Amino acid sequence: MGLAMNPDPIGAPTRTILLNPGPVTLSARVRAALHEPDLCHREREYADLQDEVRRRLLAVYDLDPAIWAAVLLGGSGTAAMEAMVSSLVPATGSLAVVENGVYGERLSRIATIHDLTHTPLHRPWGADIPLDEVTALLDRSPRPTHLAVVHHETTTGRLNPIARIGAACRDRNVGVLLDGVSSFGAEPIDFEGWGITACAGTANKCLHGVPGVAFVIVRRDALLPPSVTPRTLSLDLGTWCRAQDTRGTPFTPPVTAMHACVEALREHAEEGGVLARRARYETRAHIVARGFEEMGMAPLLRTEESSVALRSWQLPAGVSYEALHDGLKRRGFVVYAGQGALARAVFRVAVMGEMGDGDLERFVRAVGEVVASERAIREPEPSPTS
């Protein structure tokens, strides 16, 4: 076939769609916000911007500002995780950590680095989290004061059962420290019902902002008083929160990214908030799943176990990740590799960011083309004369 001779009969794409889990493809509005005039962070205009971002972050989940604070930080999602874990567990406290992927293990690593008393509940990547193992960990003596867990484990796409884990914590008065970095803005989070003390997030995943702004939503009564020497200076939530409450900032914030963040939050609210974004992702995920399953491709996890924002798919037989990635990139789509031992087995497709359903239909066709051309190279069709 002609295709086998010329496996990549395409021109350069005009626009690239990012299907990695952040940073995301920006909307025109958010990109335009990057062109706001230069601004000093000690000016009133910056304080107004910061106030609006903080107010809008709480409004995403309808949280009462008398009880909750949105604390803004400069950094990636990991900075928010580290600020949350290192700032909120008191010296007399201890932490249980649920691990079933890279990010749960990262929470434990942070606890180790900051010398917190902590006990992991270790599960293989992608495995479910049995509730009886969580309650056994919570009922150990001495009982942990906090439990850290990832909401959407982006390693595999598994959405962990925080409603059940959180209820067990709430019953025991154990504070939940949630890594919501890849779910905040697109999955329901019941802050009160799930016993949440704090939730770490970032602007550049489901909220569709740019990298640079991270944040922790925290119960005000969980912040340690200024008389306690913090474990960290630049990531101490109390330090940031007290300054932001008085319209200040302790250190230079990512001003330009903050402009993009406020625009992304306005867009999120105008589009209908969390449930609307979730519905949009679900439609996108369904277009990908239907197309892939028609081609005989299989997901790593069942739909009911998965987030709507990202799913892992088994690499089609005979196609390496590199070939798939490179072929798709030439066609204007960036997919994401599996991590660790999963790198040879799966690839990941996130549907966060600015894109249309038609883009995903083109993406599915592009995957079909790349798979067909790879197989044509490896298994040339028998010649008609043989």
Q: Point out the residue whose Cβ comes nearest to ligand PLP.
A: 77
- 95-99, strands of its sheet edge to edge: 68-75, 212-219, 196-202, 175-179, 146-150, 95-99, 118-122
Strand extents, DSSP E, 76-206: 95-99, 118-122, 146-150, 152-153, 158-159, 175-179, 196-202
Asked whether position 76 contacts ligand PLP by CB under 6 A, the answer is yes
- Closest approach of Cβ 296 to ligand PLP, in Å? 29
Residues 287-316 that bind ligand PLP (CB under 6 A): none
| HSE of 247, CA atoms in CB hemisphere, 13 A | 9
- Closest approach of Cβ 47 to ligand PLP, in Å? 26
Contacts of 156 (CB under 8 A, 6+ apart): 100, 101, 125, 126, 300, 301, 312, 342
Give the one residue of 103, 125, 184, 313 binding ligand PLP; rule: CB under 6 A: 103
Nearest-angstrom CA–CA distance, 371 and 369: 6
Give the one residue of 50, 154, 239, 312 binding ligand PLP; rule: CB under 6 A: 154
Residues 35-74 that bind ligand PLP (CB under 6 A): none
Taking the least distance from each CB to ligand PLP, the nearer of 159 and 288 is 159
- Closest approach of Cβ 159 to ligand PLP, in Å? 11
Residues 175-234 that bind ligand PLP (CB under 6 A): 179, 181-182, 202
Q: Is the distance from CB of 126 to CB of 100 less than 8 angstroms? A: yes
Residues 236-275 that bind ligand PLP (CB under 6 A): none
Three-state secondary structure call for residue 28: helix
User: How distant, in Å, are the alpha carbons of 316, 319, 383 from that of 1?
Assistant: 21, 19, 10
Asked whether position 125 contacts ligand PLP by CB under 6 A, the answer is no
Asked whether position 150 contacts ligand PLP by CB under 6 A, the answer is yes
Nearest-angstrom CA–CA distance, 19 and 351: 6
Taking the least distance from each CB to ligand PLP, the nearer of 86 and 373 is 86
Residues 16-35 that bind ligand PLP (CB under 6 A): 21-22
- In the complex, the residues that contact ligand PLP under the rule CB under 6 A are 21-22, 76-78, 81, 103, 150, 152, 154, 179, 181-182, 202
